[in-house]
Every structure is written in C-alpha cells, then in structure tokens.
Amino acid sequence: MAYSEKVIEHAENPRNVGTLDKNDPNVGTGLVGAPACGDVMRLQIKVGDDGIIQDARFKTFGCGSAIASSSLATEWIKGKTLDEAEAIKNDRIVEELNLPPVKIHCSVLAEDAIKTAIADYRSKQAARKAAETK
Amino acid sequence: MNPFEVLGFSPGYDIAADQLARRHRELSKVLHPDKFTGSGGGERREALSRAVEVNEAFRILRDPVRRAEAIFSLSGIAVGETNEPKASPDFLMEAMEQREALEDAKASGDTAAVRALGDGIAAQTTRVVEELGQGFASAQGDAEKLRALLPLLGKLRYARRFQEELEALLEES
C-alpha cells in the first residue's frame, strides 16, 4: 500500500520526537495503543501557567501512518489552549495526511493520545490543588 | 470446526504438546490416502477432507494464541482487535519500555541486550500461558469470567509479535 507524500514526509522527518519529564506537574502524558498489533504511542504536553501548551513531544512505535499522525498532532497542539487541543478530531488528521481507510485507526490513536495527555495533566493539577488547600 | 472435537480432546487450554502430536500422528495415519486406494471416490474424498481438518485442528491447538481464540469462539465470545478491551496503562507502559529497550539495543548493536529481551519475553509468554490455563480452568464456561481473560490474549499476541521481531533481528546479526 502506498503512503501519501505527507505521511512519508512526517515519517521520515518526524517533528517533536522525544520525552518530557513525566514527573513534572506541568507535563501531561498520554500513553495509548494496541501493543498486540505493534502500535504504542506516547504523547506528552508541557502546559504553561496561562493554560497554553508550550511544548509537545511524542514517541511512537508502529507503522508510518501512526508515526505521522502523532507527529502532526504534536505540531498542531503546540501553542493551543487545552480546550482547543482537546477539540481536535481524528478526521482532520485523516484529511491532512490522506490516510486510507485501513489506517484511520492511527489517527484515532493520535486523538486518543492528545486527550489522554490532557486528562493526565488535569488530574495532576487537581491533585496539586487538593494538596495545597489541605 | 471444533478443533478439540476433531482431535478428540475435551475443550480446555492445557493440552500436553506430546499428546497433541501423538493424536495428530495417529489420525493422519488412519486417514492417509494410501489406506483408501481400494475405496470408492466418495470415501476417499471424505478421508481427504477429514485429513485436512485434522491438520488444521492441529495447527490451531498447538498455537497458544489460536487455542485460546478457539475456546473463546466456542463459548460465543468474539475475539479480534475491535472486540477486545483496550490495553491497560500498565501493559502499555511495559510495552513502551520494552520497545525503547529494543530501540537502544538496536542503535548500539548490542546483541546481548536483544537476547536478554528475548529471554524476558519468553518468560512473560510462559507466565501468560499459565495464567490463561488457570483462568480457563476456573471460568468453567462462565461468560463473564471468560471475558475477563481477554486482556491476557492481547498480552500473548503482543509477546509473540515482539518475540518474532527479536528472532528476526538476531538472525540478521
């Protein structure tokens, strides 16, 4: 199956590959995937005090489409508020990367990773606030 | 096809490999085309199609993943990526760590590290197979209890896939 040019471009030059300190209270980590199918995706966000995503990093093991989807996701969420990032739908990734139907699950994983990272960040912040008010 | 029935086993996960091989051998001998040279066409075809079934049942039952899938399917529980529960955070973490360790080992050409990962995953496979065996035995056909075993099937698939990748890598080096 042929990959679209955009998938190849992202897969060959993935943006924002790497790791953020998962113990940093301003970092949210989303770990998703289907290991049985060879896909594991980690997406991390670093959120500023203004609630804007300052940085995003990912690490994906899987096919080119999975790598491209997460690479694109990190590009898109940087500079966005949490609510804006959370509103990103997988169809936009499908559209941008011209993903064929059999690779749509890769874009679903990327959307899921964004949401899981945001949820992790929010639960960390809530825990911190709860600890402060005690 | 019920592979357990075809090979004359009562449905269950724990099947001794030597017993399975023996049963397969015996049935293959009985159904061998040479035994049917004097028979009519109908009988010969019948023996041939049974032999094909016996071989397929053998391939299913000797494979821990397919054997588990067979038990689930016979109990009316659908298997396959979309029917099985999502991977748990712990499992994802473990898979991520193993993938990263493999990536590091590949980058530094550390064959010993790849081998160590292979040993780890083999032990993991043995553990999951044991857990599944116990799980199937104690579920006794209860659908709820059987469904609770589905994550183990996912782990087994993952472990096998990873193992195959490691083996391919070690063959290259």
Q: How many CA atoms lie within 13 A of A104 on its CB side?
A: 8
Name the pTM for this structure. 0.85
- Give the A:B interface size as CB pairs under 8 Å: 41
Check: CB of residue B43 under 8 Å from CB of residue B94.
Answer: no
A63 is annotated as an active-site residue: no
> Which of B12, B10, B134 is closest to B68 using CA atoms?
B12
Nearest chain B Cα to A109, which residue? B86
> Can you give the pLDDT of all 134 residues of chain A as single tens digits?
568 888 998 888 899 999 999 999 999 999 999 998 889 999 999 999 999 999 999 999 999 999 999 999 999 999 999 999 999 999 999 999 999 999 999 999 999 999 999 999 999 999 988 988 87
Q: Across-strand partners of A27? A: A46
Chain center to CA of A70 = 5
Closest residue to B99, CB basis, from A34, A37, A40: A40
Domain contains B78: no
Closest-CA distance, A33 to chain B, in angstroms, reads 7
Q: What is the residue whose two structure tokens read 């990327």? A: A110
Could you tell me if B54 and B12 lie in one domain?
yes
Could you tell me if B98 and B134 lie in one domain?
yes
What pLDDT, on the 0 to 100 scale, is given for residue B69?
Answer: 96
Residues 6+ apart with CB under 8 A from A108: A90
Which positions in chain B touch A36 (Cβ < 8 Å)? 81, 84, 87, 154-155, 157-158, 161
What pLDDT, on the 0 to 100 scale, is given for residue B29?
Answer: 93
Report the number of distinct structural domains present in chain B.
2
What pLDDT, on the 0 to 100 scale, is given for residue A1?
Answer: 56
What pLDDT, on the 0 to 100 scale, is given for residue A60?
Answer: 96
Helix or strand holding residue A34 (H, E):
strand A27-34
Could you tell me if B108 and B165 lie in one domain?
yes
Domain contains B96: yes
Tell me which of B46, B62, B78 is where a domain ends: B62
Domain that holds residue B45: 3-62
Residues 6+ apart with CB under 8 A from B157: A36, A37, B65
Domain contains B143: yes
CATH number for the domain harbouring residue B153? 1.20.1280.20
Q: Which residues of chain B have pLDDT under 50?
A: none
What pLDDT, on the 0 to 100 scale, is given for residue B37?
Answer: 82
CATH number for the domain harbouring residue B51? 1.10.287.110
Q: Which of A34, A37, A87, A127 is catalytic?
A: A37
Which positions in chain A touch B95 (Cβ < 8 Å)? 33, 35, 40
Could you tell me if B37 and B99 lie in one domain?
no
Count other C-beta atoms under 10 Å from residue A78's C-beta: 17
Could you tell me if B48 and B95 lie in one domain?
no
Domain contains B68: no
A106 is annotated as an active-site residue: yes
Domain contains B40: yes
Residue A7 φ/ψ region, left for φ over 0, alpha for ψ in the -120 to 50 degree band, beta for the rest: alpha
Tell me which of B62, B77, B105 is where a domain ends: B62
Check: CB of residue A40 under 8 Å from CB of residue A31.
Answer: yes
What pLDDT, on the 0 to 100 scale, is given for residue A101?
Answer: 93
